[in-house]
Amino acid sequence: MKTDNDNTSTVSLDRRRDVSQNPLCLSGKGVTRIFGSGSKQNVAVDHVDFEFREGELVSIVGESGSGKTTLSKMLLGLLPVSEGEIFFRGAPRDISTRKKKKEYWKNIQAIFQDPFSSFNVFNKIDTVLLDCINMTGGKSLPMEKKTEMMTEACSFVNLKFAELTNKYPFELSGGQMQRLMIARIFLLKPKILLADEPTSMIDACSRATILDMLLNLRDEIGMTVIFITHDIGLAYYISDTVYIMEHGKFVEHGSADEVILTPKAPYTRRLISDVPKIHEAWDLSTVE
């Protein structure tokens, strides 16, 4: 039986920080992505500007089809930008060659919603973690040191490395795999982590644990976390800053409290009023 028991704990996800004075980590001016051409042209991301600072937890919230995933692919350098420019630590990002792209990827990492498809099924857990150490320049370290690093990374996410060695990813439960993803990030220590709905496949009671680990990791290595989600409640709990995206554009951005509690854009207001709530009445009369 796949269990990983320790005591039930209470966690607070409210770790707001003032990051306005931190240096810029990732920013963009007029970033656009157009698919197709002529009459079939589809502007998925439409001239968006953003400034993500070091150590900031930013959430990008939008409904399906709003352009969140296209934007995240551009941030990761997996999709070219049609217009505009992305800046990394103040300077224009250069990923024109394979080598430069690899260099950039040392700074930005991603975790996705489906942990099952994020691992190479032929690689054992040891290999997954060893790759991370090798990637960050630890190739020549002695094996004992590597094992120590892997054990530390696993214990950070409440996994026992000794129990995982010689196992394949499919032998783990969904929650364990999602935690292993976080352990990978712990070893890679990127400057930026892009998390695309990392908790959407996790149950409510395990979700708090994963988010808590993610926030601990942010505090530990001081990385910028870009959280892509459609869950505005989740964004409110964890973020310093929230960007609301509609039809490829940012309609509103600001601190989580500002955007969620005093929304200005009509779209944000609608989005918040459409989410079922616990303490306030859910007004069904607003739908036609």
- List, in order, residues 6 or more apart from 17 with CB less than 8 Å away: 55, 56, 240
Q: Which of 88, 156, 236, 250 binds another protein (CB under 8 A)?
A: 236
In the bound state with another protein, the residue whose beta carbon lies nearer, of 76 and 260, is: 260
- Interacting span for another protein (CB under 8 A) from 32-40, 110-118, 216-224, 276-284: 276-284
- Asked whether position 116 contacts another protein by CB under 8 A, the answer is no
Q: How many CA atoms lie within 13 A of 245 on its CB side?
A: 30
- Asked whether position 59 contacts another protein by CB under 8 A, the answer is no
- Asked whether position 234 contacts another protein by CB under 8 A, the answer is yes
- Asked whether position 117 contacts another protein by CB under 8 A, the answer is no
- Asked whether position 54 contacts another protein by CB under 8 A, the answer is no
Q: How far is the CB of 157 from another protein (least distance, A)?
A: 11
What gap in Å lies between CA 207 and CA 211, rounded to an integer? 6
- Interacting span for another protein (CB under 8 A) from 51-59, 95-103, 134-142, 278-286: 278-286
In the bound state with another protein, the residue whose beta carbon lies nearer, of 1 and 162, is: 1
* 115 neighbors 174 (Cβ within 8 angstroms): yes
Q: Which of 106, 230, 247, 249 binds another protein (CB under 8 A)?
A: 230
CB atoms within 10 A of CB 202: 19
- Asked whether position 157 contacts another protein by CB under 8 A, the answer is no
Strands 241-246 and 224-229: unpaired
Q: Which of 32, 113, 151, 158 binds another protein (CB under 8 A)?
A: 158
Q: How far is the CB of 148 from another protein (least distance, A)?
A: 24
- Interacting span for another protein (CB under 8 A) from 34-42, 116-124, 161-169, 206-214: 206-214
* 101 neighbors 93 (Cβ within 8 angstroms): no
3-state secondary structure of 156: helix
- Asked whether position 9 contacts another protein by CB under 8 A, the answer is yes
CA nearest to 199, candidates 225, 167, 232, 234: 234
- Give the CA distances from residue 128 to residues 68, 102, 143, 150, in Å, rounded to whole numbers and listed in that order: 28, 18, 15, 10
Which DSSP string corresponds to 217-234? HHHHH--EEEEEES-HHH
Total binding residues toward another protein, as defined by CB under 8 A: 53
**63-194-49-232 Cα dihedral, nearest 10 degrees:** 30
Binding footprint of another protein on the chain (CB under 8 A)? 1-14, 63-64, 158, 173, 175, 203-209, 212, 230-237, 256-257, 260-261, 270-272, 274-280, 282, 284, 286-287
